[in-house]
Amino acid sequence: MRYSTPVPLRPVEYKDSEEREEEDDRLDELDELDKLHGPSSPGLFSGTSLPNSRLSIFHSSATQYDSSPNQADYDQDYKNSLEDSQTLHPIHLEGGQEPSPLKPRRTQSLQYKPPAHTKRVLFFGTSALIGLAYLIVFFATQGTRYGHSVKINVILMISDGFGPASESFARGFVQHLQNLTVEEQAKFSRWTFPETTSNSQQSSIKRPTGPSKNKFGTLPLDPLLVGSSRTRSSNSLITDSAAGATAFSCALKTYNGAIAVEPVEQKPCGTVLEAAKHRGYLTGLVATSRITHATPASFYAHVIDRDMESKIATFLTGEGPLGRNVDLAFGGGRRFFLPSSSLTSSRSDDNDLLGTAQSKYGFTIINSTDAFEKAWDPRSSKGHFKTPVLGLFNDNHMNYEIDRLSLEGTEKREPSLRNMSLAALQTLSREAKDKSAHGFFLMIEGSRIDMAAHSNDPVGHLYDILAYQETVRTVQSWVDEANKAGWPTLMISVSDHETGGLALGRQLTEKYPVYAWYPEVLANATHSTAWLAKKISMAVRPSQSVSRQFIVDEILKDGLGIVDASVDEIDKLVILGSTQNVDYLLADMISRRAQVGWSTHGHSGVDVNLYGYPADLTKDLFGNRENTEIGQFIVDAMDIDLDIVTRDLNRLAKSWHVTDANHNPNLQNFQLKHYSF
């Protein structure tokens, strides 16, 4: 090795010709060693690579050459190097031995002048070797950017507010449909799921009339059950959607209301979506809520309060500290992307985020179902979008599924969760192949399952569950095709929490209850209770008698299929002023008739079902899991690094991130103001 500082070169004076001859002989021996070991033998000088042992005792400063050197240039540079070489870097031998001082030979012996063509060969030869090394590295990592070797697609489906009882609830309704006539089943054909309900199991019990058949069908999720998830947040046994989704996105517990920030100092935490983007995956989000709502926001934004939706929207369009991380987003919530001058805006500033997303970050903006269907045909289920793409189909949340169905064929129609999800899968997979990406991460949320349960509305809850089940079936089929094609793909389905405390069976009197609940009551409904409550509030009713008739005919009979309303129930609907109170009353009326019970208008703390597919790729999720383990499973499956993203986020956090000086990580004072009408 070399000394850290150079030592001065001392001129050598020979006492007599004999000493000069001895030095010449010693240098000749070095020449012989060069021939024996080669010009860069590690056996001569430890840790060095010397081109010539005579010249290498001088370590002058490097000289830069242009791409076309000539002999005159070299002669002059070499002469200059001799004049400048007043210092030497002595070299240690292996084993700590000091080299014997080498005295400079006669000047003429040092004036080695390689011909010009030799320099050209050295230059271009070195360039070729560097180029070859680059090509080796390039092809070794082609399709695996950042030197990343994993290629996989991960689809995380979140059934917001969907508890174990909700699965039984929807299954019971589908089983009821099997008892209807063919004509009666026609309007429910989307929800019969023949691939599961047709697999009727024969009873092993023999009867005189022959073996009985159990026409007890199942739902698409049922065969995929692998375990359950514990849902508590860092500051409460009952979580909200923000903390619940952050457990999935950051693989850590945080306080209720937090969007991808840790609970103590409120510092941002890197998410699986951001880390996937950093690794070279494509990323997508599909939701039926506002796309800035708690669950989707927890994958791309970082704020201390979920209600900061104007700020959250800036992260989605690329204005966050990491730039654009989302390649595809479909959902509602247009109002948080429009400037305050727009009539439907909920922003307090004049930022036109859609304009910024389009002009600055290259987003394709889809503002209507017509535009969506021009790029992706719902009849053939074919087509794709050029990423990045942002589709916003409602100023607020998208409609409940049962209300969406009533809008089909009108200008206000919206794409279904199934169609948005399939379009996202086809777009991301095609774009990933075109861009040689590793694959993609896609989060799909059945958002409004939760919101119907907040109203204790069994109709809205049921149909959004069925729409989610339909989407699961479509995604599972797509996963099968991807795996058959040799592209590892997995799907996880889980809820962030349960909502409403749903119970199948309700005691209505002091008498001992009947062991039953009645799904057929729900089959006659055509709208959610929230839709009907809004219809009542907007109706022009010149007199109380007209109001009563309007409520009896259009709200109760046509909307909910209720024909036995009491005078007291009708009177309450006439005089109630609050839309929310009307919503709650309508929900209670139909719940009582179906004998479905609810314990809260908020969330509950029960464990939720965990589903995975295919089994060989999701076996590490089997059993009862903390919700943070699901986030960590995604990290491991995709081989991504949350810590790197977290460091990047916090490096300049003071310039963009706002914390609450009065924050108490243990305080349980979270309010549900975001659910108000």
Element (H, E) at 225: strand 225-230
Q: How many helices (H) and strands (E) does the chain have?
A: 24, 20
Where would I find the H helices in 336-445?
A: 353-361, 369-375, 401-406, 417-434
Question: How does strand 225-230 pair with strand 608-613?
Answer: antiparallel
Among residues of the chain, what percentage have pLDDT more than 70?
73
**To 10 degrees, what angle do helices 116-141 and 71-84 make?**
90
* Mean pLDDT, range 251-277, rounded to an integer: 98
- Reported as a single tens digit per residue, the pLDDT across 164-179 is 999 999 999 999 998 8
In the structure, what pLDDT confidence band is assigned to residue 546 with cuts at 50, 70 and 90? confident
Q: Is 445 annotated as a binding residue?
A: yes
More confident residue, 587 or 206: 587
Strand partners, 365: 390
What letter would DSSP give residue 298? T
Q: Give pLDDT, residue 437.
A: 81
Tokens of 185: 């089943």
295 is in an annotated binding site: yes
Tell me: the pLDDT tens digits for 265-288? 999 999 999 999 999 999 999 999
pLDDT per position as a tens digit, 113-144:
555 555 555 556 666 666 665 554 444 443 34
Q: Over the stretch 198-240, which tens digit does the pLDDT of each residue have?
A: 444 333 434 444 444 445 789 999 999 999 999 999 999 999 9
pLDDT digit string, tens, across residues 380-405: 888 889 999 999 999 999 999 999 99
Looking at per-residue confidence, does 415 or 662 come out higher? Answer: 415
Contacts for 464 with CB less than 8 Å, ≥ 6 apart? 288, 400, 401, 402, 446, 448, 449, 452
**Model pLDDT, residue 445:** 99
What residues contact 338, with CB distance under 8 A and at least 6 apart? 344, 345, 347, 352, 353, 354
Mean pLDDT along residues 511-525: 96
Span 491-505, average pLDDT: 99
283: left (phi over 0), alpha (psi -120 to 50) or beta: beta
Mean pLDDT of 241-258: 98
Average pLDDT, integer, range 593-598: 98
Supply the mean pLDDT for the chain: 82
The SS3 assignment for 282 reads: strand
Whether 9 shows a pLDDT value over 50: the answer reads no
Between CA 650 and CA 657, with CA 651 as vertex, the angle to 5 degrees is 50
- Proportion of the chain in helix, strand, coil states, percent, rounded to 5: 45, 10, 45
Whether pLDDT at 146 is above 50: no
Confidence of residue 194 (pLDDT cuts 50, 70, 90): confident
* pLDDT bucket at 195, cuts 50 / 70 / 90: low
Instruction: Report which of 246, 222, 225, 223 is spatially closest to residue 234, judged by C-alpha positions.
Output: 246
Domain limits, the chain: 7-105, 153-180+230-503+600-657, 522-595
Inform me whether the pLDDT recorded for 566 exceeds 90.
yes
Burial of 272 (0-12, 13-18, 19+ CB in 10 A): buried
Average pLDDT over residues 498-513: 96
**Residue whose C-alpha is closest to residue 82's, from 102, 59, 64, 66:** 59
Which tops the pLDDT comparison, 674 or 142?
674
450 is in an annotated binding site: yes
Task: State residue 11's pLDDT score.
Answer: 43
The alpha carbon of 656 is separated from its chain's Cα centroid by a whole number of angstroms, namely 22
**To which residue do tokens 């089959």 refer?**
523
For 368, half-sphere exposure in the C-beta direction (CA atoms, 13 angstrom radius) is: 6
CA 534 – CA 86 distance, rounded (Å): 92
**Contact residues for 277 (Cβ-Cβ < 8 A; gap 6+):** 283, 325, 326, 327
| Residue 496, annotated as binding a ligand | yes
List pLDDT tens digits, range 407-441: 998 999 999 999 999 999 999 999 998 887 889 99
Average pLDDT over residues 455-468: 99
Residue range 473-483: average pLDDT?
97
Q: Identify the active-site residue in 53, 56, 234, 241.
A: 241
- CATH code: domain 153-180+230-503+600-657 is 3.40.720.10
Q: Which residues contact 459 (CB under 8 A, 6 or more apart)?
A: 402, 452, 522, 525, 527, 528, 529, 560, 590
- Give phi and psi for 167, each to the nearest 5: -65, -45
603 marked as part of a ligand binding site? yes
Q: What is the pLDDT of residue 131?
A: 61
Residue 485, classed as helix, strand or coil, is coil
Q: Do 356 and 320 contact (CB within 8 A), yes or no?
A: no
Among 39-48, 84-93, 442-451, 639-648, where is mean pLDDT lowest?
A: 39-48
pLDDT at 34: 53
- Three-state helix/strand/coil letters over 508-526: CCCCCCCCCCCHHHHHHCC
Whether residue 371 has pLDDT greater than 50: yes
pLDDT reported for residue 384: 85
User: Cα dihedral sign for 295, 301, 305, 308?
Assistant: negative
Question: What's the pLDDT at 328?
Answer: 99
416 counts as catalytic: no
Q: What is the pLDDT of residues 41-87, one digit of tens each?
A: 343 333 333 334 333 333 333 333 333 444 444 445 444 544 444 44
- pLDDT for the residue numbered 676: 40
pLDDT recorded at residue 111: 47
The pLDDT value given to residue 92: 45
* Whole-number pLDDT of residue 543: 72
State pLDDT tens for residues 307-352: 999 999 999 999 999 999 999 999 999 999 999 999 999 999 999 9
Length of the chain: 677
Split at pLDDT 50, 70, 90, the class of 664 is confident
Residue 631 pLDDT greater than 70, yes or no: yes
Give the per-residue pLDDT at 192: 81
* Non-local CB neighbours of 542 within 8 Å, separated by 6+ positions: none
Distance CA 595, CA 515 (A): 10
Q: Report whether 438 belongs to an annotated binding site.
A: no
